[in-house]
């Protein structure tokens, strides 16, 4: 097939383009801007257009008729490329439709990793384990990896490991052979208007999965029923630090899920599983080391912040947090969860304006001062933006031996990488 991916630089679409390319399809696509994913795709020989006014799409269709226009949920119905694809009579579909058909066509068994927090790291960990054990595997993970592409199709593989996110109800389009649920905590109010909507979606997802492994706290939260198809892990099931040498309580919790998966599949003995998990190098943007004492993390929810700060304190006595909230509509839902307990691991906090995307234009934009009115920091809470003396503050913190953690799903990651490229060497 001749497939066009719109938004090909995104962490959801980019891996699918790689998978289609690996399977022998002709792949092209576009995005609004260059990025790490587009660069990775170009290196593989995939043609990527920067700019999405519809002209490149039309030209490609004239050269060789396109069979399928695959797009992200973030693309509005009025988007020029989507409008043009429909005008030209090209089949259109979102990423979940493409992936579901691909998995069926190749007779793959899906191992899906779902949950509010920890999906990407856990998916990466599962992919890492299969690769290290020499087991052929196809997969899609929502970030770039140091040990392979973001998505891959390997002929002859039995399993497809997928980061199965709940945004836009994506995960409800699949019937996984095995599901690992990392955590459940109300999120994505733009997709799920109420907390009950969110819980019901996870209950439906579990019913669609042949086998599910989840934690007791999450089972109790949504009211799931344990059965032969739903195995519940208790809090004391988390493998201890003596067995798993990975930093961060939440990392060891996620690794325990992968350990459970591998032992239940009887892929290898337990000692080998532990050995492989202990060598996991991590994934990009999940407590990723950018430079000495400088880390980037995608976290943008209070529970993610608290968990990552706990990890940081395991390896450093002093931690400085730079936080960019994500989506104003989400801030209206989580504002009461920004408490002293969440930020207890940070000695200093630099709070940036919220990164705005997919917003309800009728909602008040919550200011940093409003979002932090429950914090009692005694002079250790600072407000500013990415261009307001932040470089100097970060450099000083690092020179004083503080680990600097930059968190957020918006522009902060690109900013911190640019800063690191020009920052003085410690």
The structure's pTM equals 0.85
Residue 99 lies in a domain: no
Same domain, 35 and 68: yes
Same domain, 122 and 60: no
Same domain, 266 and 302: no
Residue 380 lies in a domain: yes
Residue 283 lies in a domain: no
Same domain, 352 and 400: yes
The H-assigned helical ranges of 339-389 are: 368-371
pLDDT tens profile 195-249: 999 999 999 999 999 999 999 999 999 999 999 999 999 999 999 989 999 999 9
Nearest Cα to 73, choosing from 96, 89, 103?
A: 96
The span from the CA of 355 to the CA of 414, in Å, is: 13
Same domain, 73 and 117: no
Same domain, 82 and 113: no
Same domain, 330 and 236: no
Whole-angstrom distance between the N-terminal and C-terminal Cα of the chain?
A: 51
- The CATH number of residue 368's host domain is 3.90.190.20
Report residue 328 as tokens.
């104003």
Same domain, 121 and 261: yes
Q: Which pLDDT score is estimated for 218? A: 97
Domain span at residue 125 reads: 106-277
Single out the residue in 251, 277, 303 at which a domain terminates. Answer: 277
Residue 100 lies in a domain: no
Q: Which pLDDT score is estimated for 423? A: 85
Same domain, 172 and 301: no
Cβ contact 201:166 at 8 Å: yes
Residue 382 lies in a domain: yes
Total domain count, the chain:
3
Same domain, 300 and 220: no
The span from the CA of 15 to the CA of 92, in Å, is: 18
Residues of the chain under the 50 pLDDT cut: none
- The CATH number of residue 150's host domain is 3.40.1190.10
Q: Which pLDDT score is estimated for 388? A: 83
- The CATH number of residue 32's host domain is 3.40.50.720
* Interacting residues of 379 by C-beta distance below 8 A, sequence separation 6+: none
Q: Which pLDDT score is estimated for 105? A: 94
* Interacting residues of 135 by C-beta distance below 8 A, sequence separation 6+: 159, 267
Same domain, 55 and 138: no
Residue 282 lies in a domain: no
Single out the residue in 277, 306, 333 at which a domain terminates. Answer: 277
Single out the residue in 277, 299, 323 at which a domain terminates. Answer: 277
């Amino acid at each position: 097939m001749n497939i066009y991916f719109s938004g090909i630089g995104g962490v959801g679409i980019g891996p699918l383009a790689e998978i289609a390319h690996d399977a022998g399809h002709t792949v092209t696509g576009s995005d609004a801007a260059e990025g790490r994913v587009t660069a990775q795709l170009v290196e593989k020989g995939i043609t990527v257009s920067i700019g999405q006014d519809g002209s490149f799409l039309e030209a490609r269709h004239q050269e060789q008729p396109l069979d399928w226009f695959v797009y992200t949920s973030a693309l509005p119905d009025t988007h020029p490329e989507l409008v043009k694809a429909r005008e030209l009579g090209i089949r259109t579909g979102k990423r979940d439709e493409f992936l579901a058909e691909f998995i069926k066509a190749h007779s793959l068994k899906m191992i899906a990793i779902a949950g509010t927090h920890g999906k990407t790291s856990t998916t990466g960990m599962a992919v890492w384990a299969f690769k290290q054990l020499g087991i052929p595997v196809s997969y899609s993970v929502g970030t770039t990896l140091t040990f392979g592409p973001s998505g891959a199709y390997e002929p002859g593989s039995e399993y497809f490991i997928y980061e199965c996110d709940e945004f836009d109800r994506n995960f409800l389009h699949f019937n996984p052979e095995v599901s690992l649920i990392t955590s459940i905590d109300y999120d994505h109010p733009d997709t799920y208007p109420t907390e009950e909507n969110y819980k019901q979606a996870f209950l439906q997802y579990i019913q669609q999965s042949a086998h599910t492994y989840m934690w007791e706290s999450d089972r109790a939260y949504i009211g799931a029923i344990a059965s032969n198809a739903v195995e519940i892990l208790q809090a004391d099931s988390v493998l201890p630090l003596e067995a798993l040498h990975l930093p961060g309580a939440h990392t060891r919790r996620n690794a325990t899920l992968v350990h459970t998966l591998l032992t239940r599949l009887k892929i290898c003995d337990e000692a080998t599983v532990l050995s492989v998990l202990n060598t996991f190098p991590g994934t990009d943007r999940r407590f990723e080391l950018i430079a000495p004492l400088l880390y980037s993390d995608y976290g943008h929810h209070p529970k993610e912040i608290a968990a990552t700060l706990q990890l940081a304190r395991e390896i450093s006595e002093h931690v400085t947090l730079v936080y960019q909230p994500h989506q104003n509509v989400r801030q209206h839902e989580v504002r009461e969860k920004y408490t002293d307990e969440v930020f207890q691991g940070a000695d200093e906090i630099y709070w940036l304006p919220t990164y705005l995307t997919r917003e309800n234009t009728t909602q008040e934009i919550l200011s940093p001062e409003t979002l932090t009115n429950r914090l009692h920091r005694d002079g250790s809470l600072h407000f500013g933006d990415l261009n307001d003396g932040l470089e100097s503050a970060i450099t000083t913190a690092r020179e004083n031996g503080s680990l600097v953690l930059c968190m957020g799903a918006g522009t902060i990651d690109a900013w911190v990488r640019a800063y690191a490229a020009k920052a003085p060497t410690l």
